[in-house]
Amino acid sequence: MSAHAVLYVEDEEFDALFMRKAFAKAGLEECLTVVADGRDAIVYLAGQGEHADRAKYPLPAMVLLDLKLPIVSGFEVLEWIRKQPAFQTLPVVIFSSSSRDADKRKAEELGANEYVEKPASAMEFRAVVERLKLRWLAGP
């Protein structure tokens, strides 16, 4: 796993753009890989297809996962991740617009390490990235 690589699973184009900008401002622009649906997240993590080249597509140090995704939901991706022996300790942070307690409980039950509600404005993405950087990406 790359020390700072982050896989962001997000289908909302603007959220992905805001996150890319926030990672760039945090000096982590090279660390972020974005995939747009749950199926692509599983293919990436499994190292299948074009993602078999781990030099180009390193295993992430953290997965930032939206819940409402096309094709395969964030909950299904989280469940798949936790069933893989190699990913038992991979930090998975849910990054969702849902503030529903039921979603938070389900994410926790499925093994999410943290649940972060998406900020209301693009400016607040930077604060989220700084917190994630300190909590999950600290180190060499």
At 52-105, the pLDDT tens digits run: 999 889 999 999 999 999 999 999 999 999 999 999 999 999 999 999 999 999
Q: Give the CATH number, domain containing residue 40.
A: 3.40.50.2300
Whole-prediction pTM: 0.93
Within a domain: 128? yes
SS3 state at 44: helix
Strand order in the sheet with 6-9: 32-35, 6-9, 62-65, 92-96, 114-117
Is residue 140 over pLDDT 60?
A: no
What is residue 1's predicted lDDT score, i.e. its pLDDT? Answer: 52
Would 16 be classed as within a structural domain? Answer: yes
Quickly tell me which residue has 């199926």 as its tokens. 39
Domain that holds residue 118: 6-135
Position 88 in a domain: yes
User: Look-up: residue for tokens 């760039």?
Assistant: 24
Is 140 a member of any domain? Answer: no
| Within a domain: 1 | no
CB 112 within 8 A of CB 64: no
User: For the chain, what is the mean pLDDT?
Assistant: 93
Backbone angles phi, psi at 13, to 5 degrees: -55, -45
